[in-house]
């Protein structure tokens, strides 16, 4: 695994957009847990984790003003944002990142129904990219963003369930719910820290 190159890119992402860096860490944690619970082997889990860490590295090519814009995007701005997976693949290819990880970066905005950035559909979307797409969307829903209200956990889970088979792989959604249940159980068993 190309951990030194990954570390270097994460450092650049953190310097350019701390918000996107933190988001990428959250997505990577969710994606790794989902891949493990889905039953993927250690090598596959590591590749998905790496892909999730790097999924938004192409946003380095986008100004912070645009990344954090509160109002609606113009068509031109949307096209710039939409290009971030391609930009990420171009940046990472030059660093020798493996083709499998590059696929996850390239296709993390695909939708199960074919309505994503590149129009891939269903099982034609690499499984790692489907896992990252679900983790990415959930992390985005449950994090504060300048252009979107944070959702409660029940609302975010309902959104995931409502989009099974359209946005998300319907085979991953039940596994995702199992993962969230396990994470909540673990979190609730930790001692509460009171002021």
What is the share, in percent, of the chain residues with pLDDT greater than 70?
94
- Answer for the pair 155, 164: CB distance below 8 angstroms, yes or no: no
In angstroms, rounded to a whole number, what is the distance separating the alpha carbons of residues 152 and 158?
10
Task: State the pTM of this model.
Answer: 0.93
Smallest CA-to-CA distance from 39 within 131, 107, 139 is with: 131
Which fold is adopted by the domain 3-188? Hypothetical protein af1432 (1.10.3210)
In angstroms, rounded to a whole number, what is the distance separating the alpha carbons of residues 86 and 107?
9
* pLDDT recorded at residue 145: 75
Higher-scoring residue by pLDDT: 147, 174: 174
* pLDDT recorded at residue 188: 60
- Answer for the pair 120, 25: CB distance below 8 angstroms, yes or no: no
Burial of 95: CB neighbours in 10 Å, binned 0-12, 13-18, 19+: middle
Residue tagged 């679900």 (tokens): 134
* pLDDT recorded at residue 17: 94
59, 70, 121, 185: which one is catalytic?
59
In angstroms, rounded to a whole number, what is the distance separating the alpha carbons of residues 185 and 85?
34
* pLDDT recorded at residue 144: 81
* pLDDT recorded at residue 194: 32
* pLDDT recorded at residue 184: 84
In angstroms, rounded to a whole number, what is the distance separating the alpha carbons of residues 59 and 81?
8
Residue range 163-179: average pLDDT? 97
Residue range 10-17: average pLDDT? 96
Taking 90 as the threshold, does the pLDDT of residue 183 lie above it? no
Smallest CA-to-CA distance from 23 within 37, 35, 10, 36 is with: 10
Residue range 18-32: average pLDDT? 95
* pLDDT recorded at residue 1: 62
82 as an active site residue: the answer is no
Could you tell me how far CA 88 lies from the centroid of its own chain? 13
Taking 90 as the threshold, does the pLDDT of residue 193 lie above it? no
In this predicted model, what pLDDT tens digit does every residue of 82-122 receive, in sequence order? 999 999 999 999 898 999 999 999 999 999 999 999 999 99
Taking 50 as the threshold, does the pLDDT of residue 151 lie above it? yes
């Amino acid at each position: 695994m190309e951990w030194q190159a990954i570390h270097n890119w994460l450092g650049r992402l953190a310097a350019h957009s701390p918000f996107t860096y933190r988001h990428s860490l959250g997505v990577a944690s969710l994606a790794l847990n989902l891949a493990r619970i889905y039953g993927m082997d250690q090598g596959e889990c590591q590749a998905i984790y790496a892909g999730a860490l790097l999924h938004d590295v192409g946003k380095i090519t986008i100004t912070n003003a645009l990344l954090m814009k509160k109002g609606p995007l113009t068509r031109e701005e949307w096209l710039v944002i939409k290009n971030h997976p391609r930009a990420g693949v171009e940046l990472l290819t030059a660093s020798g990142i493996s083709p499998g990880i590059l696929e996850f970066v390239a296709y993390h905005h695909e939708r199960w129904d074919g309505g994503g950035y590149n129009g891939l559909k269903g099982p034609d979307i690499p499984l790692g990219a489907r896992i990252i797409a679900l983790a990415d969307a959930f992390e985005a829903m449950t994090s504060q963003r300048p252009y979107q209200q944070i959702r409660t956990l029940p609302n975010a889970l309902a959104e995931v369930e409502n989009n099974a088979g359209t946005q998300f792989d319907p085979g991953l959604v039940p596994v995702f719910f199992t993962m969230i249940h396990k994470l909540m159980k673990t979190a609730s068993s930790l001692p509460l820290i009171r002021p």
